[in-house]
């Protein structure tokens, strides 16, 4: 009996057939796709974009290896109301409100950045990735501060979860939407892709990334976004199957009281005129509030809540840049390179001390160990930079 004749194989075929059946019922009206339900929309996105975006095709050779036709990374954004304009939180504000909002976000980012910078200076912390100031802004955006960043995810199901997240708040029947753009298009528009800071672990659960969209680029981005609309769905539980084969429910927005207090403090502090600058923002906030409680109890690893940091970061990169080909898998050099161009600290830390694979862009087994994957990743990045010269 072959694996395809097993109960698992039969179940997989039935699942794929159901996805295809649902996807086939989605129609196109001018430049927008319309689905009869959220299930149909998700099936269409999985079948036509997310799954196909993870598969490459072998062709001619490069650096002694076969050239692979690799589709670009796709970024999804769920909108609970299709009538909402695609714009950042800062761009939604009136001009008179933006100055204080930018200051509040800056204060939040400064505290987050300075706190982790102090921790990483401590003995024994050399094995953790160094934060940068843009990581602080990304954390501020994620916790509701107003910035020029737009939230996206590499996971269509996560985008659907956000598109469905406010149905209980506003039960009025309406249309929801998921917008998407590929990484290549975003870079052609001159947009910067910001990867999440490691200390905001729930962004890794959400496969979340940000696009930095200045007001001058917003109209161009809207013109290049693709969209599918569907009747709003009720919120649903998010289930993920982990490496041990067990399915677990995930809270994509777990509460963090300390960071919520930081948000309130930054907002109130920004309203003062003038802002007290005699002490650093870190001291002004932590003097009454202390450091993050998990950091006090278990150190930075407890705050991360992510196990082995390298494995978590590489898993995140795999989700964006790893493509399946016949006989194994391969890192998409353009995706790796464009992400590294915008996030040099992230990749410098991840690949520190790693010798690039001398074969260039080459295939590795599906279940390659960590060291092999890091060498292949470094080899793909080096190939991209050679191609750019």
Give the model confidence (pLDDT) of 338-376 as tens digits.
999 999 888 888 888 888 887 767 788 878 888 899 999
Which secondary structure element, helix H or strand E, spans residue 241, and what is its range?
strand 238-241
Please indicate, yes or no, if residue 215 is contained in any of the structural domains.
yes
Opening angle at CA 295, ends 243 and 351, nearest 5: 50
Q: Tell me: pLDDT of 105 over 90.
A: yes
Please indicate, yes or no, if residue 241 is contained in any of the structural domains.
yes
Please indicate, yes or no, if residue 26 is contained in any of the structural domains.
no
CA gap 11, 5 in Å, rounded: 10
Q: Tell me: pLDDT of 63 over 60.
A: no
**Least confident interval from 155-164, 237-246, 327-336:** 237-246
- What are the angstrom distances between the C-alpha of 232 and each of 17, 81, 182, 229? 24, 8, 24, 9
Please indicate, yes or no, if residue 370 is contained in any of the structural domains.
no
**Least confident interval from 14-18, 57-61, 328-332, 376-380:** 57-61
Q: Residue 203 — pLDDT band, cuts 50, 70, 90?
A: low
Please indicate, yes or no, if residue 272 is contained in any of the structural domains.
yes
Which pLDDT belongs to residue 388? 87
Q: Residue 132 — pLDDT band, cuts 50, 70, 90?
A: low
62 backbone φψ class: left, alpha, beta (φ>0; ψ -120 to 50) = beta
Torsion sign over Cα 313, 258, 76, 103: negative
Please indicate, yes or no, if residue 363 is contained in any of the structural domains.
no
Please indicate, yes or no, if residue 111 is contained in any of the structural domains.
yes
Q: Tell me: pLDDT of 5 over 80.
A: no
Please indicate, yes or no, if residue 155 is contained in any of the structural domains.
yes
> How many domains does the chain contain in total?
1
CA gap 334, 71 in Å, rounded: 10
60 compared with 230, residue with greater pLDDT: 230
CA gap 49, 26 in Å, rounded: 14
Domain range enclosing 124: 77-304
DSSP 224: H
């Amino acid at each position: 009996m072959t694996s395809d004749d097993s109960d698992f194989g039969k179940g997989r075929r039935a699942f794929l057939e159901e996805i295809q059946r649902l996807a086939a019922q989605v129609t196109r009206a001018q430049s927008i796709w319309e689905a009869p339900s959220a299930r149909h929309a998700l099936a269409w996105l999985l079948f036509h974009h997310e799954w196909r975006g993870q598969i490459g095709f072998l062709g001619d050779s490069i650096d002694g290896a076969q050239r692979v036709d690799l589709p670009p990374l796709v970024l999804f954004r769920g909108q609970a109301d299709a009538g909402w304009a695609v714009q950042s939180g800062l761009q939604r504000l009136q001009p008179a409100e933006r100055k204080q909002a930018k200051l509040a976000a800056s204060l939040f980012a400064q505290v987050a950045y300075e706190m982790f910078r102090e921790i990483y200076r401590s003995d024994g912390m050399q094995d953790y990735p160094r934060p940068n100031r843009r990581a602080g802004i990304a954390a501020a955006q994620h916790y509701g501060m107003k910035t020029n960043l737009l939230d996206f995810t590499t996971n269509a199901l996560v985008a659907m979860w956000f598109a469905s997240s406010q149905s209980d708040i506003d039960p009025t029947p309406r249309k929801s939407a998921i917008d998407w753009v590929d990484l290549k298009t975003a870079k052609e528009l001159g947009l910067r892709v910001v990867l999440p800071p490691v200390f905001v672990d729930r962004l890794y659960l959400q496969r979340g990334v940000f696009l930095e969209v200045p007001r001058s680029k917003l109209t161009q981005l809207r013109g290049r976004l693709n969209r599918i609309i569907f009747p709003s769905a009720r919120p649903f539980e998010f289930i993920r199957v982990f490496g041990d084969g067990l399915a677990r429910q995930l809270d994509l927005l777990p509460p963090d009281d300390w960071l919520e207090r930081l948000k309130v403090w930054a907002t109130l502090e920004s309203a003062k005129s003038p802002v007290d600058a005699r002490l650093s923002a870190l001291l002004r906030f932590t003097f009454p509030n202390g450091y993050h409680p998990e950091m006090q109890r278990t150190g930075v690893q407890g705050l991360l809540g992510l196990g082995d940091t390298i494995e978590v970061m590489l898993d995140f990169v795999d989700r964006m840049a790893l493509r399946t080909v016949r006989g194994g898998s391969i890192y998409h050099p353009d995706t790796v390179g464009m992400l590294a161009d915008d996030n040099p600290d992230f990749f410098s830390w991840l690949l520190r001390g790693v010798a690039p694979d001398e074969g260039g862009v080459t295939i590795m087994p599906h279940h390659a160990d960590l060291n092999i994957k890091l060498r292949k990743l470094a080899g793909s990045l080096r190939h991209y930079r050679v191609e750019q010269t």
